[in-house]
A and B are shown apart, each in its own frame.
Chain A
Amino acid sequence: MTGNGVDRDPWVMLRAATRARVGLGRAGDGLPTAENLRLAAAHAAARDAVHLPLDADAVVAALGERPSVVVHSAAADRAEYLQRPDLGRRLDEASEARLREAAPEEPADLTVVVADGLSPRAVHDHAVAVLDALAARLDDWSFSPVVVAEQARVALGDAVAAALGSRMVLVLVGERPGMSSPDSLGAYLTWAPRVGRVDSERNCVSNIRPPDGLSHDGAAEILAALMGEARRRELTGVELKDTGAALPEAAG
């Protein structure tokens, strides 16, 4: 009998090579109490990340002097959002009207949408920091007001940018939480956004969650490179990725 194996050498080497939950030991045939609780805690963190409401006021406050507009998708609440991805891609009527009022006279180069997605926690932890790091690298770009979006999917950014008349949209969105990654932020870039754009027309930088994943500056660096290329070639998506030889692997 080796108990939970913690003090045995072969596991040291094997555990070092993977985050997989190997060598958990057993109680009879089942999982021992301590491991059962560890798994429950990881699941709880992921669940809470999904169901924590987006604190739009806090995001707006963190944006400081940047102008912003808060919008809501057509999904009324979290339960509807989870079951109706189509509604999470559409604006509710009041939001659409607010955006049209907020539209700049000259089309902006970029709209940044901060969207709760499947992990509002990721947005709270990382979105504004990524935006700050990115803005520092985009001196000659004009920005529309930042849009903070509740119950939002990635494609809501298309409707937002269309209402504002912007040339490009960047959606910073909470990604589906894993057991070991409840706070992962994704960034989706779409040139000439309009309703009906498909995923192959976007570029994505995912797993932004320092210290385990991509850093805020690292993400901003990749995004700024992608955006420069996108503006020069007037496109995003598969073609941009395939020919962007200078882009890091993580940009895919």
Chain B
Amino acid sequence: MSWTTSVGGHSYTFADLRELMAKATPARSGDVLAGVAAESAAERVAAQTVLADLPLAHFLDEAVVPYEDDDVTRLILDSHDPDAFAPVRSLTVGGFRDRLLSWQTDTAALTALAPGLTPEMVAAVSKLCRVGDLVAIAAKTRVVTGLRTTLGLPGRLATRLQPNHPTDDAVGITASLVDGLLHGSGDAVIGINPATDRPSTVRALLELLDDARQRLAAPIQSCVLTHVTTTLELLEQGAPVDLVFQSVAGTQAANRGFGVTLDQLREAHEAALALRRGTVGSNVTYFETGQGSALSADAHHGCDQQTLEARAYAVCRAFDPLLVNTVVGFIGPEYLYDGKQILRAGLEDHLCGKLLGVPMGVDVCYTNHAEADSDDTDTLLLTLGAAGCSFVITVPGGDDIMLNYQSLSFQDVLQVRSTLGLRPAPEFEAWLETVGLLDDAGRVPQLGPDALPALTSGLS
């Protein structure tokens, strides 16, 4: 199906849904690189105008990546719930935006709607939203998950503590772990990106974190972010695996680039579930995504990067994740050029994930060759806090010395929790209180490493 419209005396034609979606996307470098972006601001508005009039039901008839060629498309369409979709079936994309903003659409309505929505529908509506809309709609969308802590509750902002070290050194990792815990960080997960995928190293890190958890008697879950096949192998050997991790993308070909299939994810999910390691919930998967990953794998099928990113969340939601986060500024300026593009992409990703029923977090970050700095991460963190983001990622001083990029510091999150009145996950908050890391006003006092003797008594 093709569409033609006029804006400012010029006529614009869009050959198919893929082109319409791409050209309606707010400007970003990755779509220019892919050659799919609108060629002028007017063409972008023309595409948005056509998109606003498109019936939502059209997304069930026209796929942006062919059904026959792609298992993600098949997953999306085969698992679509027509009953859940019924309340919005007659709406256009523009009408859907108005409905999402309306007073009648509350948290319960949004939760019920999620199984009826496809990634392409939520990507489309997000393209018609301004930053304020992306925040306002997300703020009333809740996705609650749990394992040893409960995440996604109203008024809470959790953190992944990321104690990476360039040589996976146990004491070096412990130093960052202690620093993070002393700042009340780690309620979403303690998650290490290992420097090597060697199974023996990954196992040693899993045991280090699980041992720390038991010595602290803390309600935390841990994860070593290695390939799903490595985790599965270690899990079968009896390693303490709380969470199965995998990077995923929105097309079958891009997932092949990550060396992963939906069947492998299914197998790993079931294996982790069978361990029954949770106390307050049974969500045992963790996924990372990011706009541009399909293009960088040459697997984008001529689609824009934001639509494909939303499709990655359909992959995630099939495996009942505890955590999903977009690594929004990590992939570089050829995909998201500056702070403005990173801000919008982070909020789009957060909203799209939440609308699909995914427990969305964000790695608020940038690389040194992007036009971005800590003012931009502060702005994104504050807006995500207002939007009810499930969790963000924290590293000492915001400087990840293994991956060489900047994320948030522990202090950044304490400050935003305080500014917006947000608290850690309830189980973790209670633990902080028992070890003296939370005062009567709900603040985290400044204590030294000896406040955590379970981890530091042998060191000094």
Contacts and interface: CB of A to CB of B under 8 A. Distances in A.
Interface residues of B, number: 52
B421 to A, nearest CB: 13
Nearest to A31: B411
A17 B33 contact: no
Given A20-B175, A30-B415, A39-B398, A10 B446 contact: no
B448 interface: yes
Contacts of A180: 399, 401
A43 B368 contact: yes
A176 B396 contact: no
Contacts of A82: 333-334, 337, 369-370
A134 to B, nearest CB: 26
Interface in B261-280: none
B399 A21 contact: yes
B80 interface: no
Contacts, number: 151
Given A39-B374, A43-B406, A85-B334, A14 B415 contact: no
Given A13-B460, A176-B369, A20 B374 contact: no
Contact of B449 (A8, A29, A40): A8
Contact of B337 (A40, A83, A177): A83
B98 interface: no
B169 interface: yes
B430 interface: no
Given A10-B456, A43-B406, A177-B368, A83 B397 contact: no
A26 B446 contact: yes
Given A20-B175, A83-B32, A11 B399 contact: no
A43 B407 CA distance: 12
A39 B399 CA distance: 8
A85 B409 CA distance: 30
Nearest to B296: A85
Interface in A1-41: 1-3, 5, 8-15, 17-26, 28-31, 35, 39-40
B443 interface: yes
B49 interface: no
Given A24-B396, A83-B29, A10 B448 contact: yes
Instruction: Give the interface centre of B164, B368, B397, B411 by most chain A CB atoms within 10 Å.
Output: B368
Contacts of B443: 29
Nearest to B445: A1
A154 interface: no
B433 interface: no
B397 A24 contact: yes
Interface residues of A, number: 47
Contact of B172 (A9, A11, A20, A49): A20
B396 A20 contact: yes
B395 interface: yes
A29 B185 CA distance: 13
B409 A31 contact: yes
Contact of B169 (A10, A18, A26, A30): A18
B448 A5 contact: yes
Contacts of A35: 397
Interface string B113-133: 000000000000000000000
Nearest to A46: B368
A224 B176 CA distance: 38
B64 to A, nearest CB: 23
Nearest to A184: B404
A2 B367 CA distance: 33
A39 B460 contact: no
A45 B445 CA distance: 33
B448 A2 contact: yes
A2 B172 contact: no
Contacts of B396: 20-22, 24
A29 B411 contact: yes
A179 B446 contact: no
Contact of B401 (A5, A50, A178): A178
B112 interface: no
A181 B399 CA distance: 12
A69 B63 CA distance: 50
B1 interface: no
A9 to B, nearest CB: 5
Interface string B328-365: 00000110010000000000000000000000000000
Contact of A50 (B172, B174, B368, B444): B368
A97 to B, nearest CB: 27
A154 to B, nearest CB: 14
Nearest to B398: A39
A119 to B, nearest CB: 9
Interface in B155-198: 163-166, 169, 171-176, 178-179
A10 B171 CA distance: 12
A224 to B, nearest CB: 26
Contacts of B446: 1-3, 25-26
B189 to A, nearest CB: 18
Interface of B: 29, 32-33, 163-166, 169, 171-176, 178-179, 333-334, 337, 367-370, 373-374, 395-399, 401, 404-406, 409, 411-412, 414-415, 417-418, 443-450, 456, 459-460
Q: Lowest 8 CB-CB distances: which A-B pairs, in order?
A: A21-B397, A178-B404, A14-B175, A10-B449, A18-B172, A17-B171, A29-B414, A46-B368
Given A14-B175, A18-B169, A30-B412, 8 more contacts: A14-B178, A18-B401, A20-B399, A83-B29, A176-B368, A177-B369, A179-B401, A181-B404
14 contacts: A1-B445, A1-B446, A10-B448, A10-B456, A19-B401, A20-B176, A26-B446, A29-B415, A46-B368, A47-B368, A84-B334, A178-B401, A179-B406, A180-B399
